[in-house]
């Protein structure tokens, strides 16, 4: 295939950021940080290895996901606790914040709501930044390991991928059948997972997570949340997932209440202001 004579000039055009964030509503991190100093634990859920559990977080409370026994990646789904149709929107979060999120960035919800569901208030892996491979931690570029892709690529029938784990957890929480719960499971925040795209072929890669026991990522629930977290069968995702091969560990989810008045001035965000007439 011959290149056009101005190919180099076309490639040399500098990129433009799709969604400049200078008009994006910003969280009041000073207020959130002050509120963090007042937290009282109200509950916890231990997510077993290769399985998932749900948890509830009232609006204005905090939740924290901690590595406990060994390096372990988690796949996180979030829903509006009162409306499962409002759920985490990985693709728009990626468009707004980039491929990975950390302190001060947010998990945004699906249309027509498009509002912050949770804000990252602390991340002990913030130091990792971007490595020499272009890898970073807590990605919104992957989807979740699932039995369909495993079957497509390897002919397997494996039942403890994050997709299936999240389905069982949501079914147990809601009373829905697995078949009815499945459409509610969505693309995840890959907690602690270290990923990127290869520079030469643009392929999605993973590498051993830098997470160690005691590391955590903490969020403020901006709306009342139902969460589900799967402790991925990939373990630290250094080698493979979608099998029982990798060493796997549990993950701890804890919920905390700030002291009364500690979040004065904060309001749970309203749904998006677009009028939804769509030109008709």
Burial class of residue 4 (count of CB atoms within 10 Å of its CB; 0-12, 13-18, 19+): exposed
Query: Which of 65, 145, 188, 211 is the binder for Zn ion (CB under 5 A)?
Result: 145
Q: Which of 118, 125, 162, 228 binds Zn ion (CB under 5 A)?
A: 162
The region of 11-19, 138-146, 168-176, 203-211 touching Zn ion under the rule CB under 5 A is: 138-146
Q: Which residues contact 69 (CB under 8 A, 6 or more apart)?
A: 213, 249, 250
Least Å distance, CB 73 to Zn ion, is 7
* Residue list 64-83, contact with Zn ion (CB under 5 A): 75
Q: Whose Cβ is closer to Zn ion: residue 75's or residue 222's?
A: 75
**Identity of the residue, 39 or 47, whose beta carbon is nearer to Zn ion in the bound complex:** 47
Q: Is 194 in the site for Zn ion (CB under 5 A)?
A: no
CA angle centred on 136, ends 131 and 137, rounded to 5°: 140
Q: How far is the CB of 113 from Zn ion (least distance, A)?
A: 26
Quickly tell me which residue has 């677009």 as its tokens.
274
Rank residues 96 and 191 by Cβ distance to Zn ion and give the closer one. 191
Whether the CB-CB separation of 120 and 103 falls below 8 Å is answered with: yes
| 234 and 34 Cβ atoms separated by less than 8 Å | no
Smallest gap from residue 146 Cβ to Zn ion (A)? 8
Helix, strand, or coil here: 21? helix
Span near Zn ion by CB under 5 A; candidates 9-17, 142-150, 196-204, 272-280: 142-150
Report cis status (omega within 30 of 0) of the bond before 90.
no
58 C-beta neighbours (distance < 10 Å), count: 15
Residues 220-239 within binding reach of Zn ion (CB under 5 A): 232
Residue 274 DSSP one-character state: -
Applying CB under 5 A, the residues found at the interface with Zn ion are 75, 145, 162, 232
């Amino acid at each position: 295939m011959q290149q056009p004579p101005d190919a180099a000039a076309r490639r040399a055009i500098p990129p433009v950021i799709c969604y400049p964030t200078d008009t994006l509503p910003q969280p009041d991190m000073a207020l959130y940080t002050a509120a963090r100093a007042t937290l009282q634990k109200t509950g916890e859920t231990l997510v077993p290895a290769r399985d998932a559990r749900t948890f509830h977080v009232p609006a204005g409370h905090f939740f924290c996901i901690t590595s406990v026994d060994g390096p372990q990646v988690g796949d996180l789904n979030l829903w509006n606790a009162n409306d499962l149709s409002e759920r985490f929107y990985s693709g728009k979060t990626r468009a707004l914040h980039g491929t990975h999120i950390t302190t001060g960035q947010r998990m945004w919800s699906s249309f027509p709501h498009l509002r912050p569901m949770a804000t990252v208030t602390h991340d002990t892996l913030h130091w990792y930044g971007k490595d020499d491979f272009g890898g970073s931690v807590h990605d919104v570029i992957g989807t979740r390991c699932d039995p369909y892709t495993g079957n497509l690529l390897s002919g397997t029938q494996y039942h403890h991928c994050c997709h299936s784990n999240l389905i069982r957890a949501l079914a147990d929480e809601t009373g829905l059948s697995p078949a009815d719960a499945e459409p509610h499971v969505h693309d995840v925040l890959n907690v602690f997972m270290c990923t990127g795209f290869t520079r030469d072929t643009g392929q999605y890669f993973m590498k051993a997570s830098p997470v160690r026991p005691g590391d955590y990522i903490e969020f403020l629930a901006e709306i009342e949340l139902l969460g589900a977290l799967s402790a991925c069968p990939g373990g630290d995702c250094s080698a493979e997932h979608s099998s029982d091969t990798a060493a796997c560990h549990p993950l701890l989810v804890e919920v905390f209440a700030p002291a009364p008045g500690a979040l004065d001035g904060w309001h749970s965000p309203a749904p998006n202001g677009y009028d939804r007439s769509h030109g008709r």
